[in-house]
Copies of this chain bind each other. A is one copy, B any other.
């Protein structure tokens, strides 16, 4: 859309994106109209079109923004001085927090978006997030196995299994609901199967 933009415009664009993100969190992807964004941003109809042509374009940029911000979360956790078990527990704790946020999450919007938009592999946000998750998990498990914390015969399988479970819990939390106990139980089960108790 807008290509050349001054400092001000960039700020406004950011403001719109952040407001839009909130709207997508509340209403999902499909239900959201340009009018919803306009109303929440308190700008004019035409004003919005100055920056974005459609809710699709808006959502794609929201996603891009989110991706940039969340990358650190993962990497941040690992860089600390901690045992692999600690990191794993930390990771699960973070996931649990995310799963319980429910309404204030882009999850539903993301699913709805990808239900109707076939996105090339490289740009597919869900795929990328999933693959990143698998990679990190593999690294973590490998490390854990090496220093004797974990027992695992098929690291890649385990990593992928964990990510599928998380994906399953995500969708479950948005459709049938997911209690804190259930989450704890499930992550506990995984930890049991992985960590060698002394």
Contact = CB atoms under 8 A, between A and B. Distances in A.
A96 interface: no
A85 B116 CA distance: 37
A101 to B, nearest CB: 15
Contact of A167 (B30, B112, B157, B172): B172
Given A168-B165, A172-B167, A158 B189 contact: yes
Identical subunits present = 4
Contacts of A146: none
Contacts of A177: 121, 127
Interface string A126-169: 11001000000000000000000000011001101101111111
B115 A192 contact: no
User: How many residues of A sit at the interface, in one of the four size bands?
Assistant: 35 or more
A71 interface: no
B168 A164 contact: yes
Given A168-B163, A168-B167, A168-B171, A124 B176 contact: yes
A160 B175 contact: no
Interface string A16-34: 0000000000001011000
A175 B185 CA distance: 27
Interface of A: 28, 30-31, 108, 110-112, 114-116, 121, 124, 126-127, 130, 153-154, 157-158, 160-161, 163-172, 174-177, 182, 185-186, 188-190, 192-193
15 contacts: A111-B171, A115-B175, A130-B172, A154-B192, A160-B182, A160-B189, A161-B186, A164-B168, A164-B169, A164-B172, A164-B186, A165-B168, A168-B170, A168-B171, A193-B193
